[in-house]
């Protein structure tokens, strides 16, 4: 049987990578790996332990002691850190703010990239982030860069926040998103860019389900070119 591919999804914040990746994995029968959740788990641990985020050496020593596991479920992925279910805790606003400096830490990235490569070594995974196709799996069989106009991404983010019962200010959301784009593209490690050989997919005028179906069809044609176009 032919090896199932590694699917790498990269793209800017607010483009819907996580939802698309989760649905695509379910559509293909693959494992979804939420790399962002892994960085959030490290950030949560640093906050709880009182480790200064800017102290790269201290955070680097701490990450070596962490066991991070992702457990797929029908409704998403449960995240465990040293045996504790931190799925909800890592979504707290203070953790979101702390994740950016954590993701710039070379020791953290080295540790988590190694874990991500181990998780995807056997293929049959959908992994999303900002450097999956460039750093984590540059030889992935299927690489995509999801994009959308900044205004569209800001509107999507606002609707997510409203659905969660949180107050929104669309102007502030757009400004924050543009600043995040600037930071992500200029990061010293793992900067956001289009991977060599990646297909750019503009999702501005597509629904999540339309994006998922388009990617699924491309992956099937790319990796299983046989009559019927079905994954084995």
pLDDT per residue as tens digits for the range 79-97: 999 999 999 999 888 998 8
pLDDT for 167 beyond 90: no
Instruction: Provide long-range contacts, Cβ within 8 A and 24+ apart, for 49-55.
Output: 53/98, 53/101, 53/102, 54/101
- Give how far Cα 210 sits from Cα of 6, 127, 162, 201, 202, Å: 21, 19, 23, 11, 12
Q: Is residue 232 part of a domain?
A: no
CATH number at residue 135: 3.40.50.300
Q: Is residue 231 part of a domain?
A: no
Q: Which of 122, 154, 170 is the last residue of a domain?
A: 122
Residues spanned by the domain of 118? 35-122
- pLDDT, residue 222, reads 76
Q: Answer yes or no: do 79 and 166 share one domain.
A: no
Q: Answer yes or no: do 172 and 139 share one domain.
A: yes
- pLDDT, residue 225, reads 56
Q: How far apart are CA 30 and CA 102, in angstroms?
A: 28
Q: Is residue 166 part of a domain?
A: yes
Q: What percent of the chain shows pLDDT beyond 70?
A: 95
Reported pTM: 0.86
Q: Which of 100, 122, 144 is the last residue of a domain?
A: 122
Mean pLDDT within 138-167: 91
Contacts of 119 (CB under 8 A, 6+ apart): 31, 33, 70, 125, 127
Q: Is residue 94 part of a domain?
A: yes
Report the mean per-residue pLDDT for the chain: 90
Q: Which of 70, 88, 122 is the last residue of a domain?
A: 122
Q: Is residue 230 part of a domain?
A: no
- Per-residue pLDDT of 206-225, as tens digits, reads 999 999 999 999 998 876 65
Q: Answer yes or no: do 98 and 140 share one domain.
A: no
Q: Answer yes or no: do 21 and 76 share one domain.
A: no
Three-class SS string for 177-216?
HHHHHHHHHCCCCCCCCCCCCCEEEECCCCCHHHHHHHHH
93, 40 contact by CB (below 8 A): no
Q: Answer yes or no: do 130 and 117 share one domain.
A: no
13, 128 contact by CB (below 8 A): no
Tell the residue number behind the tokens 């201290």, with chain if given: 58
Q: Is residue 228 part of a domain?
A: no
- Per-residue pLDDT of 108-147, as tens digits, reads 999 999 999 999 999 999 999 989 999 999 999 999 999 9
User: 210: buried, middle or exposed (CB in 10 Å: 19+, 13-18, 0-12)?
Assistant: exposed
- pLDDT, residue 231, reads 46
Q: Is residue 61 part of a domain?
A: yes
Q: Answer yes or no: do 51 and 118 share one domain.
A: yes
What's the structural domain count of the chain?
2
Q: Answer yes or no: do 39 and 5 share one domain.
A: no
Quick one: pLDDT band at residue 3, thresholds 50, 70, 90?
Answer: confident
């Amino acid at each position: 049987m032919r090896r199932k591919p590694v699917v790498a999804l990269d793209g800017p914040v607010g483009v819907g990578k996580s939802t698309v990746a989760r649905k695509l994995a379910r559509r293909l029968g693959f494992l979804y790996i939420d790399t962002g959740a892994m960085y959030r788990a490290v950030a949560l641990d640093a906050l709880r332990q009182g480790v200064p985020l800017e102290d790269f050496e201290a955070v680097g020593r701490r990450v070596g002691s962490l066991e991070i596991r992702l457990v797929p479920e029908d409704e998403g992925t449960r995240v465990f850190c040293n045996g504790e279910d931190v799925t909800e805790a890592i979504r707290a606003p203070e953790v979101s703010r702390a994740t950016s400096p954590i993701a710039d830490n070379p020791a953290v990235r080295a540790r988590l990239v190694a874990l991500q490569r181990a998780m995807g070594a056997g293929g049959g995974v959908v992994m999303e982030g900002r450097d999956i196709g460039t750093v984590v799996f540059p030889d992935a069989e299927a690489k995509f860069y999801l994009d959308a106009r900044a205004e569209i991404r800001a509107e999507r983010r606002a609707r997510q926040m409203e659905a969660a019962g949180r107050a929104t200010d669309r102007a502030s959301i757009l400004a924050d998103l543009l600043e995040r784009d600037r930071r992500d593209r200029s990061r010293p490690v793992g900067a956001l860019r289009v991977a060599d050989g990646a297909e750019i997919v503009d999702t501005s005028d597509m629904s999540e389900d339309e994006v998922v179906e388009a990617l699924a069809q491309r992956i099937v044609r790319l990796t299983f070119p046989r009559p019927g176009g079905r994954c084995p």
